[in-house]
A = this chain, B = another copy of it.
Amino acid sequence: VSRRVEEIEPLLTRARAGELPAIARLITFVEGESPALRAIAVALAPFTGRAMVVGLTGAPGVGKSTSTSALVGALRAREQRVAVLAIDPSSPFSGGALLGDRIRMGEHATDPGVFIRSMATRGHLGGLSAAIPQAVRILDAVGYDVIVVETVGVGQAEIDIAQLADTTLVLLAPGLGDSIQAAKAGILEIADILIVNKADLPGADRVVRDLRQMRGHAGTVTGWQPPIVKTVAAQHDGVEEVLRAIDDHRLWLVDSGAMVTRRRGRAAAEIAALALAAMRSRFGSTDSELLATLSNAVAHGDLDPYSAADQLLHDDLAL
């Protein structure tokens, strides 16, 4: 991870040529917060903005990995290159669930047109780590047509994924009172497409009915009403319908201008996160002469901390 910036160029070339190990190494840079990240971002910027980013979220047990795998299969049948980022927001390390993901995605493991990566997250408060948008940016720039970002629907992570994605799929399944849970968690508000998986189980129609009722007048303002699609992902049933719903949503995004707004919002969040991270590491360094002077004044009661913070922000940054 201590690779130098000059050594990045050949790696980028190999990654853009589709060499999976080179792509994997780039993602590793992102996870390790390498100093080469900036050089990578600068070099890749002109190639970004082409991929479709699909978020996939839902409670544990609804069949996210199976659905992702089925979706990847359907996209490959269309000859699209697909990257999958499987994110576990609960753990700082790759754990059992992620190993499970890899195994269930095994049918695509030898397909050179598919890139699969499990990512842990160091994000605050259960949200997605800042590394995830950078990983998406890399996968976009190296030429994947579709990037599927899969995460467990808990806490802040599913809100973050909706901001990251062009199209967000929310999975539910019969049993477990999932539809009610989803409504409570506000997960319905982030769904562009609602998927009722395991639709061969009893109670699936009730989930669909509940969702239809809760969906209510959603979309009357924005013009997009999230469709409800039934699937049995383990048997690849309904996956084509999901793909058609994604296509419809993409058309709507482009026609309505929502695509531009979403991508601008995504970029804004990314910029703000990087700026905050830069500020945080700057404040954390004790070698700032200005901070030492200000701290001294505050410790002696000559200055209040709010005015000190103002001075730190304005003087230290006006280089």
Contact = CB atoms under 8 A, between A and B. Distances in A.
Interface in A270-290: 270-272, 274-276, 278-280, 283-284, 286
A266 B270 CA distance: 31
A313 B284 CA distance: 16
A283 B37 CA distance: 22
A260 interface: yes
A291 B306 contact: no
A17 interface: no
Given A264-B296, A318-B317, A274 B125 contact: no
Contacts of A274: 305-306, 308-309
Name the residue among A124, A263, A317 with the largest chain B CB count within 10 angstroms. A317
B314 A295 contact: no
Name the residue among A299, A308, A314, A318 with the largest chain B CB count within 10 angstroms. A299
B304 A41 contact: yes
Interface in A218-274: 260, 263-268, 270-272, 274
Contacts of A304: 38, 41-42, 44-45
B275 A312 contact: yes
Nearest to A38: B306
B272 A296 contact: no
B49 A267 contact: no
A301 B271 contact: no
Interface in A70-105: none
Interface in A176-191: none
Contacts of A125: 124-125
- Chain A interface size band reads 35 or more
B299 A272 contact: no
Interface in A22-73: 37-38, 41-42, 44-49
A299 B42 contact: no
A302 interface: yes
Name the residue among A37, A266, A295 with the largest chain B CB count within 10 angstroms. A295
A303 B306 CA distance: 34
Contacts of A272: 283-284, 291, 309, 312
A298 interface: yes
B309 A263 contact: no
A276 B271 contact: no
Contact of A49 (B300, B308, B309): B300
A263 B299 contact: yes
Pairs A-B, 8 closest by C-beta atoms: A272-B283, A267-B298, A274-B309, A318-B318, A268-B295, A41-B304, A275-B309, A45-B304
12 contacts: A38-B307, A41-B304, A124-B124, A137-B305, A264-B292, A264-B296, A267-B294, A267-B305, A271-B294, A278-B309, A279-B313, A314-B318
